[in-house]
Amino acid sequence: MYEGPVQDLIDELGRLPGIGPKSAQRIAFHLLAAEPADVTRLQEVLQQVKEGVVFCDVCGNVSEETTCRICRDARRDKTLVCVVEEPKDVLAVERTREFKGRYHVLGGALDPLSGVGPDQLRVRELLARIGTDEISEVIVATDPNTEGEATATYLVRMLRDFPGLNVTRLASGLPMGGDLEFADELTLGRALSGRRSM
């Protein structure tokens, strides 16, 4: 244990995902030795990210304005909606350059053991969107792991009730057990273009 703020910093850093005690300590001492201007810059972006970033009121993606860039873009196909778990998955799908529709970000995946049920995800918002917008196809692009599969199964069941709505899933071929963002562009692009109706 270090004294005072140094230990507080190590504790805070250690709470971040993927940062163990050793890394937290290394980052803390790096910051202690860093130029004040560098630390100030980090401080500023941390503050901005909490104050300046909002979630798009249509799709739930991170955004600088109340409606995100993709939802505002009139060239994007309104009738096609790709449902993903997290904003980072939007980036992964965008990188494939295969998709010209819009998104819906759930904010996670069903995980009953951790207390995440449909009410903790943006499922109600998705159903409301389908009810009002002229959406003809929903592509379920949750992660290829247990929680993602459970979420997809649940969504397909919920979406079956909408007449005329085509519900599709990414083609197989994505590495199982992983995260959408770990699939390379080519594989994800193929999974997207080879999607099948449920």
Binding residues for Zn ion (CB under 5 A)? 56, 58-59, 61, 68, 71
Residue 106, C-beta contacts closer than 8 angstroms, at least 6 positions apart: 60, 83, 84, 85, 86, 121, 122, 123, 126, 142, 151
69: tokens are 């860039």
- Least Å distance, CB 85 to Zn ion, is 15
Task: Kindly tell me which of 8 and 133 has the beta carbon lying closer to Zn ion.
Answer: 133
Task: Kindly tell me which of 58 and 174 has the beta carbon lying closer to Zn ion.
Answer: 58
CA pair distance 96, 49, nearest whole angstrom = 26
- Least Å distance, CB 99 to Zn ion, is 14
Task: Kindly tell me which of 104 and 190 has the beta carbon lying closer to Zn ion.
Answer: 104
- Least Å distance, CB 67 to Zn ion, is 6
DSSP β-bridge partners for residue 168:
139, 197
Task: Kindly tell me which of 55 and 162 has the beta carbon lying closer to Zn ion.
Answer: 55
Q: What single-letter DSSP state applies at residue 113? A: G
CA-closest candidate to residue 140, choices 171, 185, 107, 173: 171
Pairing of the two strands 166-169 and 80-84: unpaired
31: tokens are 């910051």
54: tokens are 């909002």
- Least Å distance, CB 61 to Zn ion, is 5
- Least Å distance, CB 182 to Zn ion, is 24
Task: Kindly tell me which of 104 and 195 has the beta carbon lying closer to Zn ion.
Answer: 104
